[in-house]
Structure 1
Amino acid sequence: MVLQFILIKYLYPFPNFMQDSYNYLRSAATNIDANLWPVGYAKLIRFAGFFSHCDHLLVFLQLFIYHICGLFYFHTLLALRPCSKWLQWTMFIFIFLNPAILYLSNYVTSDVYFIGISLVWMAQLFRLTYKPTLLLLSLHLLVLLLAFTVRYHALIYPVISMTVIVFCQYSATVKAWAIAMTIFLVGAFILYTTRQTETHMGRRQFSVFSGWQMANNAVYAYVHIPANKRSQDTVPPQFKDIHSRVHQWLDSVPMSQRPDRPIMAYFIWDPGSPLQPETGAQNISDNASHLRKMAQVAPLLNDYGKYLIARYPVPYIQYYIWPNLLQYMLPPAENLAVYNDGLDSVLPVAKDWFHYNTTHIYKRAGAELKYFNFYPYLMLLILLFFAIGWIKYLYQEGRAIANEHFRYALTIVTYYWLVNIGFSVLASPVVLRYQLFNMIIGATFGGMLWDMKVYGK
């Protein structure tokens, strides 16, 4: 880990920044408890800043947390069933020497932090099935809450955790307590965040970003509706203004210049988006007043997105759901394949937080980032590797060979992946950095399935 840290900081003396980075930094600087995203990662930035505002400390802390979490997950896998040496080394390399994890650790973003927490969460689920202690269950609830404060993707985690707890060897009283505590902790966080959003953003809502995401996804499909059909739309009065701006944008932007593939968050962040409350606004992520305006219209956009989807369900499936499902299997490299969005400077909030002398930053490398464009194919191979391994496991009587611990863990992973596919495809455009946790899960369990023939109970 230390050698990797030295290497990445030599190649990239400054962290990697994207639009999300500035929002997290502003949240850390102002210490607010509600923003477009959960503020758990902003609290990590602030925690690092308590000791030093040096960006090296934040990057090292992210890498260190991931490796500690990875060790817990790795040793949990080894405890499930005996593994051959080649499999142990393969899993070790994929977890700890993965270039994507190393480069993502140099990002000022919540991804690596969330991946680490997710590895612990998943490993705890495995342990709950064969080591059901009250201490482990209590710690699992805390990890679940922590994940919920970092990324909205963790919305599916309570559902999976409660399902697993029901089938664990606890008494009915303990199970009821655990489920009640899960609902209480998640509900309390949602209620607190909702109140804080009202305080800081002026509108009572849990997730500002979800409303924008709903509209973004719907408009991605709506742009493909023929003009003669769109002209016949009669929208409810509350949507007339935003619908008119969308039509003006469609009339002024040729089809060849409209965002199409891959599906991204264009209509959320691009200054030219017809959804933006201010046309041509710049530095959106580092503009508190503009973000407040985005929060004001988020509920309206949420309803507008649902309206478009309900009116054009087939085009929505054809132009958003299906392409996003393909992106799940072949996720675009997005920001992993470029440094600092291709710029040589950062916004003032980064300069101020990290105490830079100037907004100018530099790097000593960058050409190697193009290799992350091959990672989508690796994701596809891992999905096939896992799926074929599952088929092999079923048809070669794998259940009779595998021990009980591994069978439970495989069931949990399969259940997680089915829920994750549905949620990810419906919720937001899938990109590579969102899929790294799934790649680790798929590669490690795929390897264990293929290794089944060598080792039995």
Structure 2
Amino acid sequence: MMRMQKHYRYFCLAGFTMLIQFTIFKYFYPFPNFMQDSYNYLRSAYENIDANLWPVGYSKLIRFVGFFTHSATVLVFVQYFFYHLCALYFFFTVLDLRETSRWVRGIIFAFLFLNPAILYLSNYITSDVYFIGISLVWISQLFRLVYEPSRWLLLAHLVVLILAYTVRYHALIYPLISVTALVFCQFSVRVKVGSILLIIALIAGFMFYTTSQTEKVMGTRQFSAFSGWQMANNAVYAYAHMPERPPLKVPERFGAVHHRVTAYLDSLQHIPMARRPDGPLMAFYLWDPYSPLQPVAGAVNIADNKVHLQQMAAVASLYNDYGKYLISEYPWAYFRYYLLPNFFQYAYPPSENLVVYNDGRDTVWRVAQSWFHYSANKVFTRSDTKEMALFGYYPLLMVLIIFLFVSGWIAYYVVGGPSFAELRFRYALRLGTFYWIVHYGFSVLASPVVLRYQLFNMILGVTFGVLLWELVLRSLFANREQ
């Protein structure tokens, strides 16, 4: 009964703070925040297509809300509200892992529900907050399956897993983690094997359907055109940062693209690296209109140009092979100029779009004006946006969170934490640690890491960091009293 009362108080407090924050925020920011990705999602929703450069799960959410209303404010609220429901499920799951003090619950609650990054990111027309919410439910279900081995919960987990898969390619690692967790859950061998086979079947079915829809929509049969471009972007970035690039005789099929790349890099030789457009570790070669990889140089509104995206899809397979070729020719340069910087960028991710409103513009693209029924393409804020500079400190916060978690993890084992911590907590800690290790490796290899990709990891880091240190301090004080 006490636990139910405690949960109810937190539920009410989360709802109250959500409404207050949203109301004040929307006064100062009556329009959503848009980036290049936003227009791609909106076009996918507008045309109701089932394949694009990114998974279309978020576009389906936009379309679902659009069935009732095309109000941008309602869409933003739905995103923010959905996150809060998922965060509450995660929060109550964490409280069930072990007994915690009020200050620990307060820290976790504040980071989940009073975090300005979540509020501002919810105002973006992107899949980020939606995916964070799904991820919170996904990992909470894995935590619960160890002490609530219900078949209904397992079935719900499979649904959430496939939902995550339709929203963000980062979910590619989720089946691996789910399967690993299921092996140690208290189910019969038959249920475990059946669940794993069902996961494989669902993922395979989704990939087959997406591949066929990609061929239908974009003219090429492939699961993800985006992955080929990402491979080329990463490889060309490393190649561009080599101090010297000896002449390279490439296979004939790569001749045209390699000629454009080398000609572009030669044109940048007189510009210091710090001032070059491809200087920061970002997706410059993927999205910049003047990237030598673009099929049409200087094309505008790339993410909202169906013909251009079809042209990008047409060369995606070639670019995937070209990227792999450059990496095979210069593996050390790829490690030195892409993998190693991205390894550290994971711990100190650039704030990117979180520190700017609407990419610094006061207009939106036509697809946004059309979908949200704006009378004009102008947007405005009642804020001078100077408070967004706060997110410039979040990379440092990420470093502190990693230190909090790693130091707490080490101290936990030094004091013999596994010998007295609750079983459910030990399981959740191992699972959370396993997730972070796998995610670290996948993120570094996949694409340049930015801050908005790291908020879910920051939530896990803060949660387990304070839980670990509370256990450690309790153990130390108990030993001192003895």
**TM-score, normalising length from structure 2?**
0.93
Q: Secondary structure at the match of 2:454?
A: helix
- The residue that corresponds to 2:359 in the other structure is 341
Is the 2:242–2:337 contact (alpha carbons within 8 Å) kept by the matching residues of 1?
no
Task: Give the drift of 1:364.
Answer: 1.1
Structure 1 segment 137-156 matched on structure 2, within 5 A: 137-156=154-173
- Aligned-partner residue type, residue 15 of structure 1: P
Inter-partner Cα distance in structure 2 for 1:259 and 1:302: 23
Q: Secondary structure at the match of 2:186?
A: coil
Q: Secondary structure at the match of 1:150?
A: coil
Is the 1:221–1:316 contact (alpha carbons within 8 Å) kept by the matching residues of 2?
yes
1:304 aligns with 2:319: no
The one of 397, 401, 418 equivalent to 2:437 is 418
1:184 aligns with 2:197: no
Inter-partner Cα distance in structure 2 for 1:326 and 1:282: 33
Inter-partner Cα distance in structure 1 for 2:178 and 2:349: 26
Structure 1 segment 84-123 matched on structure 2, within 5 A: 84-123=101-140
- The residue that corresponds to 2:393 in the other structure is 374
- Aligned-partner residue type, residue 230 of structure 1: P
1:241 aligns with 2:256: yes
Inter-partner Cα distance in structure 2 for 1:259 and 1:187: 39
Is the 2:38–2:126 contact (alpha carbons within 8 Å) kept by the matching residues of 1?
yes
Structure 1 stretches of 4+ with a deviation exceeding 6 A read none
Task: Give the drift of 1:324.
Answer: 0.6
Over the aligned positions, Cα root-mean-square deviation in angstroms equals 1.2
Is the 2:278–2:284 contact (alpha carbons within 8 Å) kept by the matching residues of 1?
no
Q: Secondary structure at the match of 2:146?
A: helix
Inter-partner Cα distance in structure 2 for 1:418 and 1:176: 25
Task: Give the drift of 1:371.
Answer: 1.0
Structure 1 segment 28-427 matched on structure 2, within 5 A: 28-227=45-244, 229-231=245-247, 233-254=248-269, 255-256=271-272, 257-365=275-383, 366-427=385-446
Task: Give the drift of 1:252.
Answer: 1.1
Inter-partner Cα distance in structure 2 for 1:359 and 1:259: 28
Task: Give the drift of 1:8.
Answer: 1.5
Task: Give the drift of 1:455.
Answer: 5.5
Task: Give the drift of 1:11.
Answer: 1.2
Inter-partner Cα distance in structure 2 for 1:46 and 1:32: 11
- Aligned-partner residue type, residue 424 of structure 1: S
Is the 1:118–1:147 contact (alpha carbons within 8 Å) kept by the matching residues of 2?
yes
Inter-partner Cα distance in structure 1 for 2:152 and 2:473: 35
Q: Secondary structure at the match of 2:315?
A: helix
Q: Secondary structure at the match of 1:37?
A: coil
Is the 1:262–1:327 contact (alpha carbons within 8 Å) kept by the matching residues of 2?
no
Is the 2:208–2:223 contact (alpha carbons within 8 Å) kept by the matching residues of 1?
yes
Deviations 1:16-47 (A, max 9, x none): 00000000000000000000100000000001
- Aligned-partner residue type, residue 33 of structure 2: N
Task: Give the drift of 1:209.
Answer: 0.7
Inter-partner Cα distance in structure 1 for 2:395 and 2:114: 18
Deviates more, 1:363-372 or 1:105-114: 363-372
Q: Secondary structure at the match of 2:344?
A: helix
Is the 1:34–1:196 contact (alpha carbons within 8 Å) kept by the matching residues of 2?
yes
Deviations 1:203-234 (A, max 9, x none): 0000111110000000110012345x432x11
Inter-partner Cα distance in structure 1 for 2:357 and 2:168: 23
Is the 1:262–1:332 contact (alpha carbons within 8 Å) kept by the matching residues of 2?
no
Deviates more, 1:245-254 or 1:43-52: 245-254
Task: Give the drift of 1:259.
Answer: 3.8
Deviations 1:391-443 (A, max 9, x none): 00010111112110000000000100100000000000000000000000000
Q: Secondary structure at the match of 2:125?
A: coil
* Structure 2: runs of 5 or more not aligned: 1-17
Deviations 1:142-184 (A, max 9, x none): 0000000000000000000001001111000000010001001
Q: Secondary structure at the match of 2:261?
A: helix
**TM-score, normalising length from structure 1?**
0.98
The one of 455, 472, 476 equivalent to 1:436 is 455
Is the 2:411–2:472 contact (alpha carbons within 8 Å) kept by the matching residues of 1?
no
- Aligned-partner residue type, residue 253 of structure 1: L
Is the 1:104–1:112 contact (alpha carbons within 8 Å) kept by the matching residues of 2?
yes
Is the 1:33–1:196 contact (alpha carbons within 8 Å) kept by the matching residues of 2?
yes
- The residue that corresponds to 1:25 in the other structure is 42
Is the 2:220–2:313 contact (alpha carbons within 8 Å) kept by the matching residues of 1?
yes
Inter-partner Cα distance in structure 2 for 1:259 and 1:236: 28
Q: Secondary structure at the match of 1:247?
A: helix
Task: Give the drift of 1:326.
Answer: 1.1
